[in-house]
Amino acid sequence: MNPKKRREIFSLLKQSNPDAKTELLYNSPFQLLIAVILSAQATDISVNKATRKLFSVASSAKKLSKLSIKTIETYINTIGLYKTKAKNIQLTSKYIEDHYNGAIPHDRYILESLPGVGRKTANVILNTIFGDPVIAVDTHIFRLANRINLAGGSSPLEVEKRLTKLTPKEYLIDAHHLLILHGRYVCKAKNPACSNCIIYDLCEFNKKTKKVFPS
């Protein structure tokens, strides 16, 4: 895909969704971190339902770190891998409270060292909270980048590196949310809504499938 087409794609995505942002509900950087940890292999809807209850009793690192793992499990047991996640968010909360007085550090190395936090989660925090021009590649973005030939790669890290290099600089900060929402609601894994896609004429997937829709 040439640079001109790539810029046009991001321009259209931005026009169609100028205020693209995470659909996870949170009232502080700490709450977003916990929500993103919980979102692994879970939908944002299910996470929001769980955190609405959890944050009503433990809205800060200090409060959450004082809950027992068993208690945390009762609030998040509707989410996949909830036992492991309960342990991780308690440990992460305690570390953040003990070392950073409840604040989220603006440091990739520290973030990735926290229990339950990997590169994708760290990128979400760095981008959403601190405005860093990084792209968190989840299943939606990985699929979309490969499907339409935006920035192909065999692993999330490879796609992330190519997207970061190839995305026009003026769209880098918004790229994560623009792509994830398009992948979630339009360029879906099964039955992508090509007929309702704003970037259909620029997409290289429709050339391979030879799909034709009325203008």
CATH 1.10.1670.10 intervals, the chain: 3-20+135-208
Q: Establish whether 138 is a catalytic residue.
A: yes
Whether pLDDT at 44 is above 70:
yes
In the chain, the percentage of residues whose pLDDT exceeds 70 is: 95
Nearest to 196 by CA among 175, 215, 177, 178: 215
pLDDT in tens, 80-138: 999 999 999 999 999 999 999 999 999 999 999 999 999 999 999 999 999 999 999 99
Q: Which of 14, 70, 83, 120 is catalytic?
A: 120
Who wins on pLDDT, 2 or 212? Answer: 2
Q: pLDDT grade, residue 210 (50/70/90)?
A: very low
pLDDT in tens, 148-172: 999 989 999 999 999 999 999 999 9
Instruction: Tell me what pLDDT residue 137 has.
Output: 95
Q: pLDDT grade, residue 209 (50/70/90)?
A: low
Specify the pTM.
Answer: 0.90
Q: Establish whether 161 is a catalytic residue.
A: no
Whether pLDDT at 214 is above 60:
no
Q: What are phi and psi of 153, to 5 degrees?
A: -175, 155
CATH 1.10.340.30 intervals, the chain: 29-128
Q: Which of 49, 66, 94, 138 is catalytic?
A: 138
Q: pLDDT grade, residue 143 (50/70/90)?
A: very high
CATH match for 3-20+135-208 among 1.10.1670.10, 1.20.58.220, 2.30.42.10, 1.10.3720.10: 1.10.1670.10
Instruction: Tell me what pLDDT residue 206 has.
Output: 65
Mean pLDDT of the chain: 93
Region of 3 (left: φ > 0; alpha: ψ -120 to 50; beta: rest) is alpha
Whether pLDDT at 212 is above 70:
no
Topology adopted by domain 29-128: Endonuclease III; domain 1 (1.10.340)
